Structure formats: C-alpha cells, structure tokens
Amino acid sequence: MGFLDETVITVISGAGGNGCVSFRREKYIPKGGPDGGDGGNGGSIIVRGTKRLHSLINYSSKKLLKAQNGSPGRGKNQSGKNGSDLILDLPLGTLIQELATGRVLADLIHDDEQIALVSGGKGGKGNQHFATSTNRVPRFAQPGSPGQEIRLKLSLKFLADIGLIGLPNTGKSTLLSRLSMARPKVGSYPFTTLIPNLGVMTLEDERSVVIADIPGLIRGAGHGRGLGHRFLRHIERTGLLLHLLDITYRPERDLLEDYKILRNEMEEYNPALMNKPELVLINKMDLYAPGLRDVNELESEFEKIGVTCLTISAITGEGLDKLRRAIFDLVRLKIPPTTNMSGEPID
C-alpha cells in the first residue's frame, strides 16, 4: 500500500440544468400557456473526514474530480433532477487549502465530519416563471449556472497523540510494535521506515492514544535533506514526543550530541516543536556493555538541561512498564474521559 501526504487535485462542482421552454399542448387547447420546468441544481463538492484512511494515496492520480450536473427542466412543469454531490473521503488530519491563495477551506479533525467546499451551479428557471400580462408566450428560460472549478492542495498531518522521533535505527518502530498492535517493518539498518506508521496504545484506564512512528531523522532533515523532514509534519499535532537514543549507537559520538542534533532539525523545521512535552528514552539497554556511555552520568546530564529520561529495551521489554506509566501520567490530564487526545470518541 502506498503512502501520500501531500497532493493537488482539481474539483468541479456540477453545473445547474437549464430551464426549459415549453408550452402546454393539449387537445382542444391550441395555445397552451408556458409549462417549462426548472433545471436541477448541480452537485456540490463535499469533503468528509474518516478514521479508516491514513493516506492521500487515493487522490494521487485522480487529477480532475467532478460532481454531477443538474438535469434540464422538461415540459409539463417537470423540474430536472439535482446532480449528486461528490463526497471526497479523506483521512483525519487533512488540511484543505485553495491552491491559488493558500486560504484554508477545511481542516478535518472528527470522524464523519463533512464540509461543503464548493456548491453546485443553480438550476435555471423554466419559462413558466416568465409569463407576464404583456408576454404570455415567453420563448426563453434561464440557463443553469456553471459549476465552479477550484484547485485544492491537500496536506495530511496525522492526528496522533504521541510522536516517536530519533535518528535512524534507534528502535522507534520496534517500540511502536511493543506499545501497540501495529506491526511496522523493523530492520537492522537505517531508514527501514520509509513512511509513517500509526499504532493505538491502550492506557491503564482503557483509554487509547494514537502513536506515530516516523522515519529516522538525520542532520539536515529540517532543511529538506534526508527523508525525515517530509514526515516531521506528522508530529506537529502530537501532545507528547518520545525521543529515542541508542545506547550502542556510534560509541564514538556522544548521545547528548545526538539528542541536540535532532532537536536542531526539529527547530529548523518548526520551532513550535521544541515546546512539546517530551521524554528521552535510552534504548537497547539489553546490549549495555562496559565501554559504553555511563548511564547514570548521562541521566544527570539530561537532568541538568531539564529533560526526563528513561532507560528501556524495546526488545526485552525492560523499562516499558515505567514508560507506560509515565505516558499515562503525561497524557491523562489532557484526555476527556470518553475520548482520546484527538477528541475522537473511543470505539
């Protein structure tokens, strides 16, 4: 299954049907009055948020999407049928902008939420409406108004509660699979994850939170180098970041340094990301061996800069109970009893 989180589509609402010019023709009534019906209205373009979709891939190639035209009016005062609306199902977290101006038309947050973007053209009035005392045989009717065409930019920003970030190969996807039912691809090489994954984690009190796992970030990601920058958007709406560090990762480089590199990337991309609550997770503790960075020392260095860190092993599960508890404490205040942090009702 492919993934797409930004695309441009063109939509056209339906044209209104033309009003009809017609005159009554009945036996023994040679000069019947006007009986041309009205044209039907054109269909509108409607967007609808759905939690069943997590990608814009359905909209990659469909460049032109059109609602149905209204049918023309007919004789005997029959109105034309209204054209059907075109409903575009989009993943939650999709922002819809007019391409030309950047104006935000919709931001789909809730499941099943529908927003009418472009209304269809009005149907024209039939000639029955145009008879007057001086003109009893109006030979004209109103044409339907045309549909409107508009180019839309769709950008998806996941509505996840928690974002997993870290350099490549630090164990983000492994941790996601530990905390949720998601089974993302895990590999012993950097850039295993090429597209973001979502998983749902159940908290102690049965409430659920959505976790986003994004591809690993490298230096320069914030400036568009590497893979990661494209995916930083998916953590913009999270309420908590889990920042993974690999205790075995390049022993010659300091973990505090890795931490700062990644924070710089985030800041370059969007300084607002710096203010999100975060936990640093020192992962792969099962591989801890003499010669690696002294963990107590590391913890106190993080403490000095005001950062809470936990030691874990996403493989053996060491430290994960403590992590679940910490997540629970950090997010429970933000979640109303019957919804998760995105305001989405729990199934």
Ligand X SMILES: Nc1nc2c(ncn2[C@@H]2O[C@H](COP(=O)(O)OP(=O)(O)OP(=O)(O)O)[C@@H](O)[C@H]2O)c(=O)[nH]1
* Position 137, amino acid: V
Going by DSSP bridges, is the β-strand pair 162-166/240-246 parallel, antiparallel, or unpaired?
parallel
Contact of 91 with 212, CB cutoff 8 Å = no
User: Which option in Mg ion, ligand X, none does residue 314 bind, with CB closer than 5 to 8 A by kind?
Assistant: ligand X
Alpha carbon 31 to its chain centroid, in Å, reads 61
Residue in 119, 103, 149, 121 with CA at minimum distance from that of residue 10: 149
Query: Residue 168 has which token pair?
Result: 């490549």
User: Which option in Mg ion, ligand X, none does residue 284 bind, with CB closer than 5 to 8 A by kind?
Assistant: ligand X
HEC sequence for 24-92: CCECCECCCCECCCCCCCCCCEEEEEECCCCCCHHHCCCCEEECCCCCCCECCCECCCCCCCEEEEEEC
Query: Residue 210 has which token pair?
Result: 């959505």
Contacts (CB under 6 A) with ligand X, residues 311-340: 313-315
Strands laid side by side in the 45-50 sheet: 86-91, 45-50, 114-118
Contacts (CB under 5 A) with Mg ion, residues 145-204: 172-173, 192-193
Q: Is 261 in the site for ligand X (CB under 6 A)?
A: no
Q: How far is the CB of 232 from Mg ion (least distance, A)?
A: 15
User: Which option in ligand X, Mg ion, none does residue 166 bind, with CB closer than 5 to 8 A by kind?
Assistant: ligand X
Compose the 227-256 pattern: x for residues touching ligand X by CB under 6 A, - for all others.
------------------------------
Q: Is the dihedral of CA 305, 307, 313, 314 positive or negative?
A: negative
Q: If binding means CB under 5 A, how many residues of this protein chain bind Mg ion?
A: 4
Q: How far is the CB of 44 from ligand X (least distance, A)?
A: 42
User: Which option in ligand X, Mg ion, none does residue 286 bind, with CB closer than 5 to 8 A by kind?
Assistant: ligand X
- CB nearer to ligand X: give 97 or 174: 174
Q: How far is the CB of 188 from ligand X (least distance, A)?
A: 3
Distance CA 147, CA 43 (A): 9
Q: How far is the CB of 167 from Mg ion (least distance, A)?
A: 11
Q: What is the CA radius of gyration of the chain?
A: 29
- CB nearer to ligand X: give 142 or 283: 283
Contacts (CB under 6 A) with ligand X, residues 151-190: 166, 168-174, 186-188, 190
Q: How far is the CB of 243 from Mg ion (least distance, A)?
A: 14
- CB nearer to ligand X: give 150 or 320: 320
User: Which option in ligand X, Mg ion, none does residue 197 bind, with CB closer than 5 to 8 A by kind?
Assistant: none
Residue in 53, 135, 35, 41 with CA at minimum distance from that of residue 93: 53
Contact of 23 with 62, CB cutoff 8 Å = no
Query: Residue 212 has which token pair?
Result: 């986003």
CA dihedral 200, 201, 202, 208 (to 10 degrees): -50
Q: How far is the CB of 165 from ligand X (least distance, A)?
A: 9
User: Which option in Mg ion, ligand X, none does residue 168 bind, with CB closer than 5 to 8 A by kind?
Assistant: ligand X
Q: How far is the CB of 240 from ligand X (least distance, A)?
A: 18
Q: If binding means CB under 6 A, how many residues of this protein chain bind ligand X?
A: 24
Residue with CB nearest Mg ion? 193
Q: How far is the CB of 143 from Mg ion (least distance, A)?
A: 57
Tell me which residues touch ligand X (CB under 6 A): 166, 168-174, 186-188, 190-193, 215-216, 283-284, 286-287, 313-315
- Where does this chain bind Mg ion (CB under 5 A)? 172-173, 192-193
